[in-house]
Amino acid sequence: MRNTFAQELTRLAMEDERIVLLSGDIGNKLFDGLKAAAPGRFHNCGVAEANMTGVAAGLATMGFRPLTYTITAFATVRCLEQIRVDLCYHNLPVVVVGTGSGLSYTELGPTHHSCEDIGLLRTLPNLTILCPCDPTEVKLALRAALQHEGPVYLRLGKKGEPILHVGEPDFRIGKAITMRPGTEACLLATGNAVALALEVAERLAAEGRSIRVESVPTVKPLDGDLLRSLVGSMPVVATVEEHSLIGGLGSAVAEWVVDQGDVDYRLLRFGTEDRYLETVGTQAYARAQYGLTAERIAARLGEALAR
């Protein structure tokens, strides 16, 4: 996702002189293309995320379309108040880009994990939250974010994620994208958990189950039309995300369900648990520690379907 982000941003910056990238002292070589293609529109703000976010707000008031870019934990929670006051309260068109979201940086330890960001940011008025699932969605989400008249949080994985989409889907803020049809259960997955959801569907298909998978790149605003369309037709709905069960997509869907009052599907939620991971390892190891594996999700889904 990271390389696609840099390539697409470079392309867009050549077309749109309003685009300015602010970096928190990461992506040294990554943005060489942008620096060459758009002189004066890349600025390393150093390891000073609060200031970087405020600078982006100031640039936005001058008519620019700034992006802030650094490791997710620091682009978001570190400077939460600047996002709240400078970007959201002013309703300025700034894109906050977090790279290495969720458990992407398992090996760096909990300081670099980011499983609370959506929960914290989702409470902020005016903010749109986009979590693309693959390089194709990164491109489309970035384009949409830079056209949007308000602040956007773009939650990226790391590098090397496979392309999950066939061709370019119709991407609209607030709309989910069907990845795979199915009739017995619907998995709503966001960001780098969509690949996991597809794996779960594969496993259950082998057992003769028909599982639909939706990529939900927009966590805020939720796709209420999709959630409504599942009422009366889908016995089980499950959310899957590389984010805490508190505050993320699963919480948002649960809130929506409770608010409706007439939803008849069983809702399951899969995400990270309410504890820090004290040990390091691979991303797959970290997911397993939180039960975020295709095997376990498929098992729990199978149980729910057997009822």
Partner 1 sequence: MTPTASLDTLAREAARLRGRVIEVSGRAQVPHLGSCLSCLDMLAVLYGRILRIDPAAPKAPERDRFILSKGHAAPALFQVLAWRGFFPEAWLEGYGDDGSLFGEHPPAHGVPGVEAATGSLGHGLPMGVGMALGARLKGIPNRTFVLLSDGECNEGSVWEAALMGAVQQLESLTAIVDFNKWQATGRSEEVLALAPLAEKWRAFGWETVELDGHDLEALAAALSRDRMGQGRPLAIIAHTVKGKGVSFMEDDNNWHYRTPSPDEIAAAHRELGLLP
CB contact set of 15 (below 8 Å; sequence gap of 6+) = none
Q: Are 38 and 14 in contact (CB under 8 A)?
A: yes
To partner 1, the closest distance from the beta carbon of 82 in angstroms equals: 7
The identity of residue 205, as a single letter, is A
| 3-state percent helix, strand, coil for the chain, nearest multiple of 5 | 40, 20, 40
To partner 1, the closest distance from the beta carbon of 57 in angstroms equals: 5
What does the binding site for partner 1 look like in residue numbers (CB under 8 A)? 20, 40-41, 43, 45-46, 48, 50-64, 66, 81-82, 85-86, 89-91
- State which residue, 152 or 222, has the beta carbon closest to partner 1: 152
To partner 1, the closest distance from the beta carbon of 16 in angstroms equals: 13
- State which residue, 75 or 226, has the beta carbon closest to partner 1: 75
- State which residue, 4 or 70, has the beta carbon closest to partner 1: 70
- State which residue, 60 or 236, has the beta carbon closest to partner 1: 60
How far apart, in whole angstroms, are the C-alpha atoms of residue 198 and residue 205? 10
- State which residue, 40 or 208, has the beta carbon closest to partner 1: 40
221: cis peptide before it, omega within 30°? Answer: yes
**Sign of the torsion formed by the C-alpha atoms of 138, 214, 254 and 298:** negative
To partner 1, the closest distance from the beta carbon of 59 in angstroms equals: 4
To partner 1, the closest distance from the beta carbon of 31 in angstroms equals: 17
- State which residue, 125 or 281, has the beta carbon closest to partner 1: 125
56: tokens are 């982006």
To partner 1, the closest distance from the beta carbon of 42 in angstroms equals: 11
Q: Are 79 and 50 in contact (CB under 8 A)?
A: yes
Q: Are 193 and 161 in contact (CB under 8 A)?
A: no
Phi/psi at 215 (nearest 5 deg)? Answer: -85, 130
